Structure 1
Amino acid sequence: MIHIGWQESIFVTGFLLFNPRHYPIQTIMSIEIRRVNTSRERKQFIKFAWKVYRKDPELNRNWVPPVISDYMKTLDTERYPLYEHADLAMFTAWKDGVMVGTIAAIHNHRHNEVHQDKVGFWGFFECVNDQKVADALFEAAAMWLKSKGLDTMRGPVSPSMNDQCGMLTKGYDSPPVFLMLYNPPYYNDLCLNSGHKIGQELLAWYIDQKMIDIGRLSRIAQHVLKREGLTVRDMDMKKYDSEVEKIREIYNKAWEKNWGFVPMTDKEFEFMAKSLKPLADPHFIYFVEDKNGKAIGFSLTLPDINQALKHVNGNPFTPWGLVKYLWYKRNISMFRTITMGVLPEYRNKGIDSIMNARISEYGGKYGLFASEMSWVLKSNEAMSKLAKVIGGVPYKEYVIYEKAI
């Protein structure tokens, strides 16, 4: 039986509680849910994942620990620009005095304004294989979201659709690439058994550059360039800020009709651009321009630094961590195409072939013979067709779940 009550104490076995200071506190049977409030608790929240993945040899073999300092910033409502228009609540689950799970709930006001709905989000979900613990975490997130006037919860979204999202359902036999998620298979059972339904399915396409007929792809690209009067160029790192602004303008216009998309604010885009600048290879970031020099499309590809981050245990900025990161970074053999964007009026003209040719040519020249195109909505037939044309195979699948609250 679950009772509702109001009091200051954190732990009361068998009661579902709200703290009057607006800290949701929940205890179902012997499971205690605590609200994360301090920087110390936030770091504890992040580091719980190690307990899930390190104890399982198979999971540990492929899991890439998150960069702790990056997650600390992402979950800091004073620093991360998303929270200028979003609210965040983090919860931890405890059983017999031991932490057994984490979840974050996010109320993204801009999402609700853009899509005219009442959807809230959950993310940063990590949990032992215990349905009661998962149920308690989902219930804590649901109650907080419901208190904000929302009627649906969607996730995992950590913490926005412009960040990391999706629960891995297929492709556990290889590590995730940079900025993609990994999770135990049983997480999906915990979600489904807790009443969540499949909202959207996402695909990650693996592309073996050695299998691409680069000569043919280049000829097609040259034909499109000549026919449309276009040119293609690398990003100019000396004009980084103005180049980023061009990407932002195209990105927001190109993606505005996509499912779940919310345009990024100037501050959000600037924050992201600053974070990614140390990783940017200008030969992998391209602009397609019209005859007047106006950028009408772009492609953003980054090296898969997860191949190096896997060896630093979440701490690449310590002296030893930096040494290991730089050592393993030398042997990165894969890259990830994070996003492409073409202005709506230039779609269906073969612009994507120009960017794919450029990626393949450069990758082959510098020994990067594998790439991932991710993520792509499974329902996006046009992007799937493009991936297949260049030899892509859908080798990982993800789900974003939804549940009425």
Structure 2
Amino acid sequence: MAIEIRQVGNKRERKEFIKFAWQIYRNDPELNKYWVPPVIDDYMKTLDTGKFPLYEHADLAMFTAWRDGVMAGTIAAIENRRHNEFHGDKVGFWGFFESVNDQKVADALFDAAAAWLKKKGLNAMRGPVSPSMNDQCGMLTKGYDSPPVFLMLYNPPYYNELTRNYGHRVGQELLAWYIDQKIIDIERLRRISEHVMKKEGLSIRILNMKDFDGEIERIREIYNRAWESNWGFVPMTTKEFDCLAKSLKPLANPHYIYFVEDRNKRTVGFSLSLPDVNQALRHVNGNPFSPIGLLKYLWYSRKITMVRTITMGVLPEYRKKGVDSILNTHIADYGGKHGVFASEMSWVLKCNEAMSKLAKVIGGKPYKEYIIYEADI
């Protein structure tokens, strides 16, 4: 069977690139039980190199694989110049990988991405990263028996075999921690939180929606400082952060976004959690903005039972002082009062012992695992 690789060149082909995933998941009853179709409009914007702010310092190429004239797979190759400047390496990335269970198809896709990245002067590639470490990344290796939460990926188990057989090795392992807030000793957490606030002279407040832009800037500053030593981290530009904030603003519940302040009202830590809107998006087939899709989305949004804690950030000088206990107490407290008794903390580097310890303290269990693969090119 002949395999042809085509590079995506226009808006129509970009939409075909996105829609290919339906062929993989809708045709498999087991995968279709848990897969959440991506929001097509969101992916169209993310892959628009003329508008998405990432591409002010990155280049993107999208490829499709065709087997005997029928589309059989997709992949995107990304050169993130800001990443390489920050880390002093020559790494490229691949993402948006989807493929039929055919090693020749997968090999052709990886070859196309590798060749494009190599022409850019890069000597290694990592993935899936779709399209940056600040977006969706990691290939699922454990936890196929439940849907992904908002902005986390899901894939068939055989994707790992295709990737490893091509020659990829494990670059980094990621965890998603499930926290059953019904078993949290909330009284104990409250006592610890109150002790830390009194000892350190701290206070906590929720997001002020009337000062949304100012709040986002506070988050950005702490995020970039708190995460600068993390593997693969690249500081987000103001445009990137503003774009992300604009996309998430309609989903924000101020009572899940907290700021910890010192005596001088300086922000020293924050926690960003969002309702797991995937529980509603599962029912709209990638089109929440169509009339029927919007009605379904609004209906199922009323029944969301889980939140995802996407990120926490604490200034270096306030680490290991219990600031995280203050944040976790308020997330659990508010959720419990409003019928939301589950949360996912994701993603967390498997080698990050401090975060794993924190997750365990509040009753977390690592129920999903992901890998970012790496290969020389």
Report the TM range for the smaller structure's normalisation: over 0.9
**Does residue 395 of structure 1 match 2:335?**
no
- The alignment yields a C-alpha RMSD, in angstroms, of 0.4
Secondary structure at 1:125 match in 2: strand
Secondary structure at 1:211 match in 2: coil
**Aligned runs of 1:251-400 on 2, under 5 Å?**
251-400=223-372
**Does residue 68 of structure 1 match 2:22?**
no
Q: Distance in 1 between matches of 2:356 and 2:228?
A: 19
**Does residue 248 of structure 1 match 2:220?**
yes
- Displacement of 1:142 in angstroms is 0.1
28, 33, 56: which one pairs with 1:84?
56
Match of 1:207 in 2: 179
Q: Distance in 2 between matches of 1:68 and 1:341?
A: 30
Cα distance per residue 1:158-197 (max 9 Å; x no partner)? 0000000000000000000000000000000000000000
Question: Counterpart of 2:212 in structure 1: which amino acid?
Answer: Y
Q: Distance in 1 between matches of 2:255 and 2:179?
A: 19
**Does residue 188 of structure 1 match 2:160?**
yes
Cα distance per residue 1:113-172 (max 9 Å; x no partner)? 000000000000000000000000000000000000000000000000000000000000
**Aligned runs of 1:8-87 on 2, under 5 Å?**
30-87=2-59
Question: Counterpart of 1:199 in structure 2: which amino acid?
Answer: G
Q: Distance in 2 between matches of 1:138 and 1:234?
A: 45
197, 211, 233: which one pairs with 1:239?
211
Cα distance per residue 1:222-258 (max 9 Å; x no partner)? 0000000000000100000001000000000000010
Report the count of equivalent residues: 377
Task: Give the TM-score of the pair, scaled to structure 1.
Answer: 0.93
Question: Counterpart of 2:234 in structure 1: which amino acid?
Answer: V
77, 84, 96: which one pairs with 2:68?
96
**Does residue 157 of structure 1 match 2:129?**
yes
Structure 1 residue runs without a partner (length 5+): 1-28
Q: Distance in 2 between matches of 1:240 and 1:175?
A: 31
Q: Distance in 2 between matches of 1:327 and 1:231?
A: 36
Q: Distance in 2 between matches of 1:94 and 1:333?
A: 41
Cα distance per residue 1:17-42 (max 9 Å; x no partner)? xxxxxxxxxxxx61000000100000
**Aligned runs of 1:217-232 on 2, under 5 Å?**
217-232=189-204
Secondary structure at 1:322 match in 2: helix
Q: Distance in 1 between matches of 2:163 and 2:242?
A: 34
**Does residue 172 of structure 1 match 2:144?**
yes
Q: Distance in 1 between matches of 2:222 and 2:127?
A: 27
Task: Give the TM-score of the pair, scaled to structure 2.
Answer: 1.00
Q: Distance in 2 between matches of 1:255 and 1:393?
A: 23
Q: Distance in 2 between matches of 1:218 and 1:43?
A: 49
94, 98, 106: which one pairs with 1:122?
94
The structure whose Rg is larger is 1
Cα distance per residue 1:280-313 (max 9 Å; x no partner)? 0000000000000000000000000000000000
Moved over 6 A (4+): none
- Displacement of 1:360 in angstroms is 0.4
Match of 2:109 in 1: 137
Percent identity reads 77
- Displacement of 1:79 in angstroms is 1.1
- Displacement of 1:60 in angstroms is 0.3
Q: Distance in 2 between matches of 1:222 and 1:79?
A: 46
Secondary structure at 2:27 match in 1: coil
Q: Distance in 2 between matches of 1:219 and 1:359?
A: 15
